Amino acid sequence: MDPNLQYWQSNGQSFLSRLRLWFKILDPSSVLSSQVSCCIMHRSISTVKNFKVVASLIPHKGIKPALFWQFLLQTYCAGFNHANRNATATKDNKTSMKQSILIVGTAAYSTFAGALPQIILKRFRLIGAVAENFSRSLLPIPLSACLAAFSVMVVRSEEADNGIRVFDSNGNAIGLSKAAGSKAIKETALSRAALFGTTAAVPTLLLALLKRAKFVQRNPMIIAPVRHISTAIIFGLMIPVSFSLFPQFGKIKKESLEEAFQSLDSNGELFYHRGL
């Protein structure tokens, strides 16, 4: 059996077990017992340790700063999604060129869309206090979640177009499935939306509560540090939580796959690597 498949099957059956595993994997000071675990930990740390664009998630004053930080965030997200995709589909020069175009296009579109609240505030200053509060506080929450999911779905669209490798319960490769590729993309997009949506929502709700406190009203300078610190903490906590929402090696019923898989002699379930 594939050691990675065996490891995740035995350690990632429930959300809590996956969460404990990811906290352990993402802890640089931890040393896992098996060689397979150490390999997984090394790869995960190397891919996640640069995922620190928290400043991009904090509201900015002005369109140019918003575009700059959104460019950093969305470019990194597109590159992260591409680097951690399931790359088992057939590759050629045409596919590589298409992927490059998708990455650049996704980063460019998401940069502009991510800065939309600041653009609305600066270009339409007479829209009223309610609309201003909506653009400044509420709009970034669904926008962050949607853009995170959008980046995954576009950058990793080749998995649905070309298919990803599926395995039987013994870890033997069976073939390429577009249905499994679509399922992997949807699950990862949902997990990424949860990561960025929650990171945008919790600090906003926290500040809305704190602003009612008399201490904060007498010391408004405390709002900015609280926003920065809470955003960093929530983002850090949500990384392992979002990674744990779905199994790393997902299951898919044979009936949900293409016709070519229906004649296989299996127990009705096959496995696929979801990517990250």
Residue 47 is predicted with a pLDDT of 46
Beta strands in the chain (DSSP E): 164-167, 173-177, 249-253, 269-273
In this predicted structure, the answer to whether residue 6 has a pLDDT above a threshold of 70 is no
Residues 6+ apart with CB under 8 A from 110: 70, 74, 77, 78, 147, 150, 151
In this predicted structure, the answer to whether residue 98 has a pLDDT above a threshold of 60 is yes
Collapsing DSSP states into helix, strand and coil, what is residue 167? Answer: strand
Residue 33 is predicted with a pLDDT of 47
Q: Which of 156, 168, 159 is nearest to 261 (CA)?
A: 168
Structure token pair of residue 55: 């400043």
Q: Percent of the chain at pLDDT above 70?
A: 80
CA gap 239, 252 in Å, rounded: 25
List pLDDT tens digits, range 188-229: 999 999 999 999 999 999 998 888 888 888 888 888 888 889
Residue 149 is predicted with a pLDDT of 97
- Whether the full predicted model's pTM is greater than 0.85, yes or no, is no
Domain boundaries, the chain: 3-23+44-273
